[in-house]
Amino acid sequence: MTELHQKAQNWLAQDPDPETKAELQTLLDQAQSGNESAEKELANRFADRLQFGTAGLRGRLQAGSMGMNRVLVAQAAKGLADYLIRNDKEPSVVIGYDGRKNSQIFAEDTAQIMAGAGVKTYLLPRCLPTPVLAFALRRLDLTAGVMVTASHNPPADNGYKVYLGKQHGGGQIVSPADKDIAQQIDLATQIQINEYARSDDYTVLGEDLITQYIDTTAKIAVAPKFELNYVYTALHGVGKEVLLKTFQAAGLPLPHIVAEQAEPDAAFPTVAFPNPEEKGALDLAIALAKQEHAELIIANDPDADRFAIALPDSDGNWKSVHGNMVGCYLAWHIAQQAEKQGKKGAMACSLVSSPALLEIAKRYGLQGEETLTGFKYIAKVPDLIYGFEESLGYLVNPETVSDKDGISAAIAFVDLMGSLKAQGKSLQSYMAEFAAEFGAYASAQVSLRMRELADIPALMAALRAHPITQIGAAKVVQTKDYANHAEPAEILVYYLDNGNRVIVRPSGTEPKVKVYLDVKGTDNADAARVLAELDDDVRSLLRQDMYGKQDC
């Protein structure tokens, strides 16, 4: 038997899942009978291990060490349990899960292994939004949290987010914790998972914890009573129940619901890609909005940690509002509230998000911070009162959770709408006032989808070997390489002589490289024109031979 076939046989011997076990057995039988295609696929399944990092684990549901499955999750749970025991005299963990395929069984496996290792373990009572897990971790003052979710990834994926509480603040893990946990997982793989101690001695949390989250989050709303005709979609995720209960507790008007996408459905049957940023994801919401003559569409991603909006233009065509602008509109609203309350603190965004946030913070005497990408960094900013990221992530209640929260963001945005209505204003007029007050900012993203993961470092190496000195007619006046940062990151920032900015960064969850474009114009129309020109110039530049003729 070859080494590869032995690896597969060893995996089969410990796999408790009948579906993945049958899948892998069929593949192994075909490979052993000389099927070259099966042999190649088997090699891909065991080429390496799905790597544990600051984003935890995320990958395709499939058998083998390169997929998300019960063997891999059990190994991760055992490694994490051992890490917690080494770092806390009284280790504890809370585990949550979304509505994706295998999320519940992955969560239950984790609970049994944690409890079996001697970690005080709590399990959320059913599939719930990621923010409820983040809330529970801090409310119960536990050592760690695990959320089984692939967020807005394709339907065939699942994932495993890890949070650290107590002195770590309750946010997602950062280095060096990821490396230390990964080391413990490696040690755990040296034991068959059916030899891990398991126990059912864990606590399934009750409704009171969810009620506490709802009541706490509802307090964000301060606008007087108002009416609002709007639409909400959960995109087949877990957001609807908690969102509606929170809106009711806050006394906010309730939305029309996109019925076809209201309940958790792991198949995501009405969308090609369950991400509100993706083209077509809001088509059903738009159809309902037109039918109901709505003013606004709001949406969560499947685990409800992200929040999106769409608005109609003067011709009745609905368009999504970029995450940077939603983030800035909320920032202005929160900064004005802070000024009225005499509140001081910091506003933060990731460096790939709009530079407008720093202008808003400065105008209101608040500290403005740019961090590395991810709420694991944003949430750690001292005295934070608000944080956001352009990828539809917003933290409006940092005293409650230490991660992006799509439910609380929805509350804050609908409350903003109420405040505007009380002043006789529309959201469109608020947007125009923002441009007049701070300048007309616009943002876009060019995505380079790579054929192979190995193409990503090759592109980044090419950008460093052949430094960009000009983009279109604009000269690059400064280049910042975050590989040389105190905490190194694969990010290149180009500042142009016309005040615009281009950032190149590999995705942390998908095989693609993202190019972020930020511009400022004299008004919104001018900013849109400048952004379109920069988009064309960047695409043209990246198609040059030295950068591998990227498909963008």
In a domain, 28, yes or no: yes
Same domain, 392 and 538: no
pLDDT digits 0-9 by tens, 146-177: 999 999 999 999 999 999 999 999 999 998 99
Q: What 8-state DSSP symbol labels residue 56?
A: B
For 534, the token pair is 């920069």
C-alpha distances (whole Å) from 524 to each of 284, 295, 329, 440, 501 are 28, 21, 14, 5, 17
In a domain, 542, yes or no: yes
SS (H, E, C) 369-421: EEECCCHHHHCCCCCEEEEEECCCEEECCCCCCCCCCHHHHHHHHHHHHHHHH
pLDDT of residue 552: 58
Q: Can you tell me whether residue 519 is helix, strand or coil?
A: strand
For residues 70 and 68, give the distance between their C-alpha atoms in angstroms, rounded to a whole number: 7
In a domain, 125, yes or no: yes
Which residues belong to the active site?
151
Q: How many CB atoms lie within 10 A of CB 418?
A: 21
Q: What is the CATH number of the domain that holds 541?
A: 3.30.310.50
Same domain, 191 and 65: yes
Phi first, then psi: give them for residue 229, nearest 5 degrees.
-100, 105
For residues 353 and 406, give the distance between their C-alpha atoms in angstroms, rounded to a whole number: 17
For 396, the token pair is 């409006």
438, 454, 478 - which closes a domain = 438
Peptide bond into 398 cis (omega under 30): no
170, 205, 240 - which closes a domain = 205
Q: What 8-state DSSP symbol labels residue 461?
A: H
In a domain, 216, yes or no: no
For residues 234 and 167, give the distance between their C-alpha atoms in angstroms, rounded to a whole number: 34
Element holding 104 (H helix, E strand): helix 103-117
Q: What is the CATH number of the domain that holds 71?
A: 3.40.120.10
Identify the bridge partners of residue 144 per DSSP, sorted by sequence position.
93, 164
Domain range for 26: 1-44
User: What torsion do the CA atoms of 126, 131, 136, 142 make, to the nearest 10 degrees?
Assistant: 120
Residue 32, C-beta contacts closer than 8 angstroms, at least 6 positions apart: 5
Same domain, 354 and 377: yes
SS (H, E, C) 167-234: HHCCEECCCCHHHHHHHHHHHHCCCCHHHCCCCCCCEECCHHHHHHHHHHHHCCCCCCCCCCCEEEEC
User: What torsion do the CA atoms of 368, 374, 378, 379 make, to the nearest 10 degrees?
Assistant: 160
In a domain, 139, yes or no: yes
Residue 4, C-beta contacts closer than 8 angstroms, at least 6 positions apart: 31, 39, 42, 43, 46
Phi first, then psi: give them for residue 382, nearest 5 degrees.
-60, 145
- Contact (Cβ atoms closer than 8 angstroms) between residue 130 and residue 26: no
Same domain, 432 and 336: yes
Identify the bridge partners of residue 306 per DSSP, sorted by sequence position.
none
Mean pLDDT in each 10-residue stretch from start to end of the chain (552 residues)?
93 97 95 94 94 89 97 98 98 98 98 98 98 98 98 95 96 94 97 97 97 98 96 98 98 98 97 93 98 97 98 92 97 96 96 96 97 94 97 96 98 97 95 94 88 81 92 95 87 95 84 91 91 94 70 61
Structural domain count of the chain: 4
In a domain, 221, yes or no: no
For residues 99 and 230, give the distance between their C-alpha atoms in angstroms, rounded to a whole number: 25
**Which has the closest alpha carbon to 469: 499, 448, 495?**
495
Q: What is the pTM of this model?
A: 0.94
C-alpha distances (whole Å) from 548 to each of 353, 504, 542 are 27, 15, 8
For 126, the token pair is 């059913």
Q: What 8-state DSSP symbol labels residue 506?
A: E
Same domain, 28 and 56: no
In the β-sheet with 307-312, what is the strand arrangement from edge to edge? 256-257, 230-233, 296-300, 307-312, 318-320
pLDDT of residue 314: 86
Same domain, 27 and 58: no
Same domain, 230 and 373: yes
